[in-house]
Amino acid sequence: MKRSFSPAPITLLVVACVALLAAGPLVLPPFYVRVGQLMLYSAGLGLAWGILGGFAGYASFGHAAFIGVGAFAAGLAENSFPTLSPLWLLPLGLLAGGGTCAILSAAVAYPILRLRGTFFAIAMLGVSHVCAELTNNVDFFQGSLGLNFPPIAPSAMEPADFFYWLYLAAGLIVLLIAWQIRRSRFGAGLLSIREDEDTARMLGVPTERYKRLAFVVSAVLTGLLGVLYAHSLGYITTDSVYRDDTNLSLIVYSLLGGMGTLFGPVIGAFLLVFITQVILARLLDFHLFATGLLLVLLVLMAPGGVLGLVRSLRPRRADIAPAE
């Protein structure tokens, strides 16, 4: 709906960026391929989070729940079929992880989406911690013991390169889904929910159904990314997938890039991962302090994130329009 950029140049820019990113593993040293992996994975997560948190304004502080549930569901499913060819393992894992996240999110959506604002955010943190505790303490899930994931990368390919491209493809798919949602009637409905939920309902927006749908889509995409993440780690425990720093980062990506925008989470994820992993990583303990300081400054000085800053520098059509 917002036509700040015309569609054709932005499509070209995205294609160029994707082409550039795709060439990454061919030219970058291994350390940067790993950083790139993390950037792409984080961008995908940020986009998935943004469908609910950005578009509908329901900022979740517990999306790591779906990373963890997706990862463990996939691991348990794949380990129950040890004879399956590696070619079929990832699809099986994705099906199990995505399906479990769909069921879990649909089940918690009804009570939890009645909460708004901070209450919703904190309730999601609760969901994340409950899932983590269950995974850790119920023997069936093997959360404290850990789960092994069979290697899935083709033998001809460096696993790091393989996962880099896998994250790139996954991130692109999530971007396309988010883009389609944003330009649809569903997306306009989510936007109206973010702006004023009661008014939206009064105008005929099926707010309850839309919120639930956005929640499930966001959760399933997050869970699928969690499945990929688990494979790239090769071995997971509860602590490696249910991470509170992920819970926090997902909000920060959107804040940093531009809350509620399509590309905001991508820009935020790229920036934050690059800054923490490359620029500040050498500063050891100092880097957490510096990251925190940077965030505070950014939120204070550019509350609309990077995209908000760019927009504020461009003249608005509305300001030029005649007064009456």
Partner 1 sequence: MNTAAILQVEGLSKSFRGLKAISGVSFAIAPGSITSIIGPNGAGKSTLFNLITGYLAPTAGAVRFKDRPITGMATNRIAELGIARAFQIARPFRDLSVRENVRIGALFGKAGVRDVEATTRRGMELASLMPLADRPASALTVGQLRHLEVARAIATRADLLLADEPCAGLNPTETAAMIDVLRQVRSSGVTVLLVEHDMPSVMEVSDRLLVLDAGTLIADGPPHEVAKDPKVIAAYLGTPEVLS
Residue ranges that bind partner 1, judged by CB under 8 A: 1-2, 185, 188-189, 191-192, 195-196, 198-208, 316-318, 321-322, 324
CA distance 89 to 84: 7
Nearer Cβ to partner 1 (201/212): 201
DSSP per residue, 31-92: HHHHHHHHHHHHHHHHHHHHIIIIIS----S-THHHHHHHHHHHHHHHHT-TTS-HHHHHHH
Nearer to partner 1, 114 or 316 (CB): 316
The two structure tokens encoding residue 294: 């940077």
B/e letters for 141-174, b = 16+ CB within 10 Å, e = fewer, are bbbeeebebbebbeeeeeebbbbbbbbbebbbeb
Compute the least distance from the CB of residue 263 to partner 1, in Å. Answer: 17
Measured from the CB atom, the residue of 129 and 201 that comes closer to partner 1 is 201
Residue 215's H or E segment, with its range, is: helix 207-233
Residue closer to partner 1, measured from CB, 45 or 205: 205
Residue 110 CB, shortest distance to partner 1, in Å, is 15
**What is the distance of C-alpha 7 from the center of its chain?**
23
> Smallest distance, Å, CB 198 to partner 1?
8
Question: For residues 268 and 260, what is the distance between their CA atoms, to the nearest angstrom?
Answer: 12
The secondary structure element, H or E, covering residue 193 is helix 185-195
Q: How far is the CB of 211 from partner 1 (least distance, A)?
A: 12
Select 8 or 321, whichever has its Cβ closest to partner 1: 321
For partner 1, which is the closer residue by CB, 191 or 219?
A: 191
CA dist 113 and 57 (Å) reads 11
CB 40 within 8 A of CB 168: yes
Distance of closest approach, residue 85 Cβ to partner 1, in angstroms: 47
In DSSP terms, 235 is beta-bridged to 148
Q: How far is the CB of 57 from partner 1 (least distance, A)?
A: 10
Closest CB 209 distance from partner 1, rounded Å = 9
**Which DSSP letter does residue 316 get?**
P
Nearer to partner 1, 139 or 198 (CB): 198
